[in-house]
Structure 1
Amino acid sequence: MLARVLVGAAVGLVLFVSGTWGTLALSYQLPGPSYVRIVGAGAWSVAWLGLCAALVVWRPWWAPVAMLIALSALGLWWTTVRPSNDRVWADDVSRLVSGTIDGSRVTLHNVRHFDWRGDDDYDARWETRQYDLDHLAGVDAILSYWSGEAIAHAMLSFGFDDGRHLVFSVEIRRERGEAFSEVGGFFKQFELILLAADERDIVRVRTNVRGEDDYLFPLRMPREAMRSLFVSYVEAANRMTHEPRFYNTVTSNCTTIVYRMARRIDSGLPLDPRLLLTGYLPEYFMDVGALDPRLGVETWRRLGRITDRARATTAKDDFSSAIRVGVPSAQSSSSGADTL
């Protein structure tokens, strides 16, 4: 009896998940205006519920066959939904960064350096910049909290010994007028973009314009690991210029992609739920030795909170220096022991 109940519950769960997935997939990706998507998703829901009722009440042989055919057809259609670099993009994600590497010298095209006054009020600038990897001085993780303590956007900032900082950030590539949706992120609503940007742009817009709360954590990382990670970002950016990808809320987001690149440097980095619950990344950094253990996580959070310092800066200030006032520097290790 118990076995029958468990099997029935499992079948019911599968039917519910399958039907819900189909409804959401059609509501987000069915071609045409919004009313077409609504009608299509509604028709799927009604048909699926009808098949479920038939399966439970009358149990005709054709009900499971019809379900299998419907799911197969939906799955085949789903494979035809492909990412693209050719859409009408929002201004701040309109260009793709790319780069060339010549020995230690890297030339990056389309580095973003906007001057933000509001979400819809800015001076747009895209620049070509050169960096010498022999002069890498440090890597900082920047977490921008926008939805409670468990959810933050993660970025990596590479610092050079001349005082310059470059941030790499994996983000959704919004079309003009499009807004972020966590659910849509499961259903191919957004393409993925890798941005390279000035800290005054990509950090300040979050603290000073969007009201987010930002923290900076200097990572303990050997110089060769810094260099390898920077190159990995450039290589990933170049691939995205001709191989567009979809953003996915779980499998392809701001931390999972960085994790995969970091695994190329240290294959022993563990998978962890905190790679999805990004607000708890500082604890993960501490556990893997990427944060100096002489300070506890809460001390790092207190010292690394840069929100107020960012909001106090003026156009004449050196933004990168100002936000780092009071933040201890990382203790890099040439051997790489106990570091990311």
Structure 2
Amino acid sequence: MIKRIFFLALGTLVMVSLAAWGAGALWFQLPLGDLARKLALLAWPLFSLIALLALWRRRYRLPAIWLGLLLALLAWWSTIAPSHDRIWADDVARMVSGKVDGSMVTLDQVRNFDWRSDTDYTVRWAPRRYDLNQLRSVDVALSYWMGPAIAHTLVSFGFSDGRYLTFSIEIRKERGESFDGLAGFFKRYETVLIAADERDILRVRTNVRGEDMWLYRLQMPPQMMRSLFLAYLDEGAQLRRTPRFYNTLTGNCTTIVYQMARRISPGLPLDWRLLASGYLDRYLYQLGALQGQGGFDALRQRAHITARARAADQAADFSARIR
């Protein structure tokens, strides 16, 4: 009796989980219009509940039908593939790639938009050259847009000539599309790597979108800085060759950076704060990766750049002013 209850409870947990996943898959991916999606969202959980009740009553025909429908759903899901061929929003329309010649790196698409609002901007993409021998710093920016636990992670490389280049792993929005964290679990967005000037990619978040930002200098030897920069170029090359879906949990702006960093330093530990990216700075502090004197609270206070960014606004020396 106890054994039967255990297996029924386990089966219930599995069916409920798969029913919830199937509802999300149908809602976010069914290409038949709103009415069909709403009907599917109603029908699939209802039939799952009926099949579950039948299972508890030892009637197996409906659970067998449910299993067949689930397999059909999984087969359909496997056909949904990422693509580079969509009508993209302007700010993610191009993806950076680079060529390395000794210490010199040439990037083909660096973004330098002039943002007046989230819908009013001047589009600018340009090639840039950087000398990795002049690489002097790496900063990590955390931009908070949805409470204290969720932040967008950006990594900025500073050079001795005063220039900063920021890399950002982002969703590749289609024109008119906006981010939905739940949709990010269900193959809704592709992934894109953007390289941009700080006056574009940091300022648009603090000054245009009203996000709150912290900027931390990392404690990192020159060779590791160089390796991380090249890891971004490798990530961009992989994305160009093979489009990939963004995943809110496993393939987001923080976990992908962690995967790149772990290729350079294999001993980096896994931590829950890699998923709750708003607490990434605490993780970095415990690793001893943040540069500066004092405890974490003092470092965090100095790293808060939102007011400085808004005051600097469109100034040509934006990067210097926020520091």
Class of the TM-score when normalised by the shorter of the 2 chains = over 0.9
Does the 8 Å CA contact 2:207/2:313 hold for their aligned counterparts?
no
Is the alpha carbon distance of 1:204 and 1:228 closer, same or farther for their aligned partners in structure 2, counting shifts above 3 Å? same
Larger displacement relative to structure 2 (190-199 or 39-48): 39-48
Report the counterpart of residue 267 of structure 1 in structure 2: 266
Take 2:234 and 2:297, find their aligned partners in 1: how far apart are those partners? Answer: 35
How far did 1:55 drift?
2.3
- Which letter maps to 2:97? S
Q: What does 1:242-321 correspond to in 2, within 5 Å?
A: 242-292=241-291, 294-321=293-320
Equivalent positions of 1:27-38 (< 5 A) are: 27-38=27-38
CA distance in 2, matches of 1:45, 1:11: 16
Deviates more, 1:66-75 or 1:33-42: 33-42
Report the equivalent of 1:100.
99
Q: Which amino acid in structure 2 is aligned with residue 94 of structure 1?
A: A
Q: 1:2: how far off?
A: 5.5
- Deviation per residue, 1:184-228 (Å, 9 max, x gap): 011011111111011000100110011111111000111010101
Partner of 2:11: 11
Q: Which amino acid aligns with 2:122?
A: D
- Contact map agreement 2:54 2:63 (CA 8 A) in 1: no
Q: Tell me, yes or no, if structure 1 residue 241 matches structure 2 residue 240.
A: yes
Residues 236-272 of structure 1, C-alpha deviations (whole Å, 9 max, x = no match): 1112112110000111001110111101111000000
Counterpart of 2:47?
47
Change beyond 3 A, Cα 1:149–1:61: closer
Instruction: Give the structure 2 partner of residue 144 of structure 1.
Output: 143
Between the aligned partners of 1:319 and 1:177, the Cα distance in structure 2 is 29
Whole-Å separation in 2 of the counterparts to 1:132 and 1:292: 23
**Gapped regions of structure 1 (runs ≥ 5):** 325-340
Deviates further, 40-49 or 272-281: 40-49
Question: Counterpart of 1:118 in 2: which secondary structure?
Answer: coil
| Distance in 1 (alpha carbons) for counterparts of 2:321 and 2:113 | 18
- Given residue 26 of structure 1, which amino acid in structure 2 is its aligned partner? L
- After superposition, the C-alpha distances for 1:310-329 in whole angstroms (9 at most, x for unaligned) are 000143440000000xxxxx
Cα distance in 2 for partners of 1:168, 1:73 equals: 40
Amino acid at match of 2:15: L
Find runs of 4+ consecutive structure 1 residues off by over 6 angstroms: none
Task: Give 1:29's aligned amino acid.
Answer: Q
Could you tell me how far 1:291 is from its partner in structure 2? Answer: 1.2
- Give how far 1:101 is off: 1.0
User: In structure 2, how many angstroms separate the alpha carbons of the residues matched to 1:316 and 1:214?
Assistant: 18
State the 1:127 CA deviation.
Answer: 0.9
How many residue pairs get matched? 323
Mapped contact 1:286–1:293 kept (Cα < 8 A): no
Distance in 2 of aligned mates of 1:291 and 1:322: 20
- TM-superposed CA distance for 1:293, in Å, is 6.7
Whole-angstrom CA distance in 2 between matches of 1:277 and 1:117: 31
Aligned to 2:90: 91
Structure 1 residue identity aligned to 2:31: P
Output the CA distance in 1 between the equivalents of 2:77 and 2:19.
14
Whole-Å separation in 2 of the counterparts to 1:316 and 1:171? 26
Please tell me whether the aligned partners of residues 111 and 197 of structure 1 are also in contact (alpha carbons under 8 angstroms).
Answer: yes
Partner of 1:199: 198
5+ residue gaps, structure 2:
none
- Matched letter for residue 25 of structure 1: A
Deviation at 1:292, TM superposition (A): 3.4
Do the aligned partners of 1:167 and 1:196 also contact (CA within 8 Å) in 2? yes
Shift in CA distance, 304/149, structure 1 to aligned 2, threshold 3 Å: same
Instruction: Indicate the residue corresponding to 1:158 in structure 2.
Output: 157
Query: What secondary structure does 1:299 align onto?
Result: helix
Deviation at 1:4, TM superposition (A): 4.8
Q: Give 2:23's aligned residue.
A: 23
Q: Is 1:150–1:279's contact at 8 Å kept on the other side of the alignment?
A: yes
Contact 2:168 2:194 in 1 (8 A): yes
**Residue of structure 2 equivalent to 1:109:** 108
CA, structure 1 residues 314+147, in 2 after alignment: closer, same or farther (shift >3 Å)? closer
Partner amino acid, structure 2, of 1:227: R
